[in-house]
């Protein structure tokens, strides 16, 4: 099994130069809105809506996978809003509602619900970052840095960019290019600098950066995860299980899904229950690829669920 034979790229090394969140422009700032290609953004949104369930599954496994990285985990621990199954479910349903607004709204319009949602999330990130960094006199080891926001952005699009087929998506590179353009503007309006916006230079650039983050940041972190990883990851999957009749999710099965898809060595020896969960997840992805009526049904109901939580 191949393991870290590639050298870390200069791109990732550049992203790792810390930059305090206090350098973010305030939400009223409009960066280059006159240059926005609305048609391209809408094509990116159409790609998401057409593959809604697949995209949410990709984001879901990326979230569990990324909790192993202290930069992403520490703010969640600090806010104490996702450390139990009930709180985790509430938090991430709320996050889903924001994500749906971005993908189905007019993010290029200043007074749209989608832009208001982006500004709200941006203010929340700024607030948490400033509280966590209060009293720090050194730029080293700050929280909610620009690099951290690069990792957050990768958490939303990384697995989808790297392995679209593994979540049942059949698409062209042009469609992924459109989707990265959409996320370029999401990043801009969330306060990510052009330098740290991994989608700023298009699909191929995002692909290379996400591969580096997977190989040199997340997977090594999973081999030696931080102390609160298991608690937070289990709270997330147990929260998902509140929505199902039987417990269909565990952090070990979801992470094993990612490592299998990435061709990396599994980090857990799965018992009978987790082996079944992993099989079920892979089978669902297979059905999403092979059964369009099921995909349509799930897309429609997931959209209605998110709309209900938004209203």
Is 3 part of any domain?
no
* Top-confidence residue, 78 or 34: 78
Range(s) of the domain holding residue 16: 10-310
Q: What is the pLDDT of residue 225?
A: 95
How many domains in the chain? 1
Tell me if 66 is assigned to some domain: yes
> Tokens 């870390």 belong to which residue?
8
Contacting residues for 206 by C-beta, under 8 A, at least 6 apart: 157, 161, 180, 183, 198, 199
The Cα 58–Cα 108 span in angstroms is 25
Q: Is residue 247 part of a domain?
A: yes
pLDDT at 139: 65
What pLDDT score was predicted for residue 188?
Answer: 95
Of the candidates 70, 118, 77, which has an alpha carbon nearest to the alpha carbon of residue 222? 70
CA distance 27 to 189: 7
Q: Does residue 5 belong to any structural domain of this protein?
A: no
Instruction: Identify whether 283 is part of a domain.
Output: yes
- Per-residue pLDDT tens digits for 117-131: 999 999 999 999 889
Predicted TM-score (pTM) of this structure: 0.91
Q: Is residue 88's pLDDT more than 60?
A: yes
Indicate whether 158 belongs to any domain.
yes
Residue 229: the pLDDT is 97
Question: What pLDDT shows up at residue 251?
Answer: 97
What are the b/e assignments for 249-275, b being 16+ CB within 10 Å?
bbbbbbbbbbbebbebeeeeebeeebe
Q: Is residue 1 part of a domain?
A: no
For residues 48 and 65, give the distance between their C-alpha atoms in angstroms, rounded to a whole number.
Answer: 21
Residue 2 placed within a domain: no
138-185, pLDDT tens digit by residue? 666 788 889 999 999 999 999 999 999 999 999 999 999 999 999 999
């Amino acid at each position: 099994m191949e393991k870290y034979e590639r050298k870390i790229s200069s791109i990732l090394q550049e992203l790792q130069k810390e930059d305090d969140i206090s350098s973010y422009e305030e939400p009223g700032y409009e960066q280059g809105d006159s240059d926005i290609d609305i048609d391209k953004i809408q094509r990116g949104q159409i790609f998401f809506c057409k593959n809604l369930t697949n995209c949410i599954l990709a984001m879901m496994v990326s979230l569990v996978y990324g909790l192993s990285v202290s930069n992403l985990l520490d703010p969640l621990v600090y806010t104490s809003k996702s450390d139990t199954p009930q709180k985790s479910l509430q938090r991430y349903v709320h996050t889903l509602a924001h994500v749906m607004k971005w993908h189905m709204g007019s993010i290029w319009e200043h007074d749209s619900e989608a832009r208001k949602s982006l500004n709200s999330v941006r203010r929340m990130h700024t607030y948490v970052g400033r509280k966590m960094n209060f009293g720090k006199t050194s730029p080293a080891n700050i929280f909610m840095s620009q690099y951290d926001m690069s990792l957050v952005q990768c958490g939303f699009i990384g697995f989808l960019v790297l392995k679209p087929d593994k979540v049942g998506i059949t698409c062209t590179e042009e469609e992924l290019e459109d989707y990265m353009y959409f996320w370029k503007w999401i990043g801009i309006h969330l306060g990510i600098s052009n330098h740290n916006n991994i989608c700023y230079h298009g699909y191929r650039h995002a692909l290379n950066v996400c591969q580096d983050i997977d190989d040199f940041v997340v997977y090594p972190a999973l081999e030696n995860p931080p102390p609160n990883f298991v608690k937070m990851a289990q709270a997330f999957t147990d929260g998902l299980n509140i929505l199902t009749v039987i417990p269909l999710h565990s952090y070990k099965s979801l992470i094993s899904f990612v490592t299998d898809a990435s061709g990396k060595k599994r980090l857990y020896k799965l018992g009978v229950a987790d082996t079944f969960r992993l099989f079920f997840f892979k089978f669902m992805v297979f059905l999403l690829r092979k059964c369009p009526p099921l995909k349509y049904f799930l897309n429609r109901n997931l959209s209605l669920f998110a709309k209900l939580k938004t209203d």
